[in-house]
Amino acid sequence: MHLNLSSFLQWKINIHLYRKLGWRLALVYIMILGRFYFLFKRKEKKKIEGAIKTVFGSQKGPHEIKMIVKGVLRGILWHYFEKIYNVYTPVERLKNFFDHHIQPEGIGAIEQGIARGKGVLMVTSHFGGIEYIPKYLATRNFPVTILAKFSSEHLRNISLEQAGQLAINLIDPTICPNIIKMMLDNLRKNRIVITQCDEIEEWRPSLHEEVFFLGKRIHLDKTINTLLKRGDTTLVFALMHRVDHHGYQFVAHSRDEILGAFEPSANRTVGELVLRYLEQYIYHHPEEWYQWKKVPEIKTARGTAVPAGDIKSPAWMRPALEGIPQ
């Protein structure tokens, strides 16, 4: 049996202990388990370290790189705590947590999209407290649809029960024969359909569009552009940014806000600009992104890469940095 961090932290005995200990001690326990995991899974840790060095090596010294790696590993464990807390906490208690610990910014972009009546394609990322986004929006009475895979039947049943309580629609890519059609159907029902732009292993590369991302020239995933073209829907880019222990800022950016951060160009699609916008968040808060170990798997287009000195934000992107939480 292949053991990964997700399955290790979600062993039945560990889930039992989390709930017995209480969530504050459960977080400490998860951090301890994570240290043991990365102690034995050194190749996985090295892969993360290597990716971080590749992206930041020309900009930061060894000590800064070391601190980023430490923050990233801790951020990954925070993510799994959030994931487990999100699943095993009753809806009413979650709502109370959201009310006290999440500050929204830019939520008007979502409201305007719903008012338009053609649905909202919400693009997010494996960043910060992403696990909270669907339920947070649902508790604010937004109609939410998400793509969700389940590692066990037990997890599926719990998730379906909570989704029913919050009127969240679940699309399971492992059993849905046509995901794009299902997403478009939900958009036509004027729902918020949440998808991730950094699902690297699920990317559907375009042969005609390329983009620089984290120092690599890659073939752009065409999913977002396809959905926008076929659905005539509203685009919103949103993240759940961690601001301190158990404190979050839900930030939402409209399509106009994203387009306004870049110099006009007929060659840039919205799908490209969303990915570049995410890139800026990753540069500013690398500890919140937990796809680092998959960076080496990102295939370059024509074998090219950005020269080391060009990894920093280009001049035309800098205005966007003003809108990114620090």
- The predicted-structure confidence for 277-326, as pLDDT tens digits, reads as follows 999 999 999 999 999 999 988 888 764 444 433 333 433 333 344 455 65
Comparing CA positions, the residue from 294, 279, 290 lying closest to residue 71 is 290
Most distant pair of Cα atoms in the chain: their distance: 57
Amino acid at 228: L
Comparing CA positions, the residue from 88, 143, 311 lying closest to residue 213 is 311
Q: Is the pTM of this model over 0.85?
A: yes
Please provide the DSSP assignment of 202-255 as one string.
Answer: G--EEEEEEEEETTEEEEEE-HHHHHHHHH--EEEEEEEEEEETTEEEEEEEEH
Distance CA 6, CA 82 (A): 12
Stretch (H or E) spanning 123:
strand 120-124
10-residue mean pLDDT profile of the chain (326 residues): values are 83 93 95 95 94 90 94 96 94 95 95 96 95 97 91 82 92 85 94 92 83 88 89 94 88 91 75 91 94 89 46 36 52
Residue 232: other Cβ atoms inside 10 A? 12
